Structure 1
């Protein structure tokens, strides 16, 4: 059981609009940053992260807090105007890896690239026909083996 700082919890709750009930989004009414995320306290911590830590459990090292309400909404434009970035309902928050967080949101390039089933030349991405490599920045990149083989043969 985690010890709850009652004063911090009370200060946090006063800035939450929970009128939508237990299943609805709870928008943060306090300050927010230029990216549209709520900020809380002197350290300007992410309000959704604070909500998770106060009402669920500490966020495990290396994990990010994902807004699951955002992943279910197909009408949200994403970006800075995303209303889900202000949601602090602990039922809508989940600690996940950065990779999972990026792949879940239909507004990110990793999500769109992972959804692709064929290379630009029309070859299917199957385990047998897909080469995966790491870029200099450590990102995983998929490459069609057929196209790679053709490109290397043309260069030889």
Structure 2
């Protein structure tokens, strides 16, 4: 990035609590900062990482360690896989991944965990109990193997 672009970039930055460099330019509705460079729209946090840290390796995304989408402080940015980015976040998927037991308290360990085709985890004990309840509702008796 030429020096004139770096000066323009920094003109849109203000200090914020927690050491964030808050973007004062355009913020998209989802909270991410955006800038236009040479007619091309770019995420400002990605540009900040590339200018002040290094190029972003293929297959990686930039994670805001401060959880502030409008922050462009390169020391608050980390190049990680999409999976790591999601798991570090505050989403429903991140919360589910951090669970160590099902809602009935059965542990998510190797012996008791079934991973469904869509990647969700189920307790084998709960799954077997649900199948038994369904069979009883349908009037089907289970034949031992």
TM interval, shorter chain, is 0.7 to 0.9
Figure out how many residues of one structure are paired with residues of the other and give that number.
133
* Gap regions ≥5 residues in structure 2: 136-141
| C-alpha distance in structure 2 between counterparts of 1:56 and 1:120, whole Å | 43
Q: 3-state SS of the aligned residue for 1:95?
A: strand
Q: TM-score, normalised by structure 2?
A: 0.81
Q: TM-score, normalised by structure 1?
A: 0.76
Q: Which residue among 25, 28, 32 is the counterpart of 1:33?
A: 28
| C-alpha distance in structure 2 between counterparts of 1:133 and 1:26, whole Å | 42
Q: 3-state SS of the aligned residue for 1:66?
A: strand
Paired residue for 2:139? none
Query: Which string of whole-angstrom CA distances, capped at 9 and with x for unpartnered residues, describes residues 34-78 of structure 1?
Result: 1111111143311111100111111112211111112xxxxxxxx
Q: 3-state SS of the aligned residue for 1:134?
A: coil
Which has more strand, going by share of residues? 2
| C-alpha distance in structure 2 between counterparts of 1:85 and 1:108, whole Å | 14
Query: Which string of whole-angstrom CA distances, capped at 9 and with x for unpartnered residues, describes residues 66-120 of structure 1?
Result: 11112xxxxxxxxxxxxx1111110000011111111111x20111101222212
Higher relative contact order (CA 8 A, sep 6+): 1
Larger Rg: 2
Q: Does residue 123 of the first structure (1) align with residue 106 of the second (2)? A: yes
Query: Which string of whole-angstrom CA distances, capped at 9 and with x for unpartnered residues, describes residues 112-138 of structure 1?
Result: 101222212321111221111332xxx
Paired residue for 1:77? none
Paired residue for 1:43? 40
Q: Does residue 95 of the first structure (1) align with residue 100 of the second (2)? A: no
Q: 3-state SS of the aligned residue for 1:27?
A: strand
**RMSD of equivalent CA atoms:** 2.0
The offset of 1:5, in angstroms, is: 2.6
Paired residue for 1:56? 53
Q: Does residue 11 of the first structure (1) align with residue 8 of the second (2)? A: yes
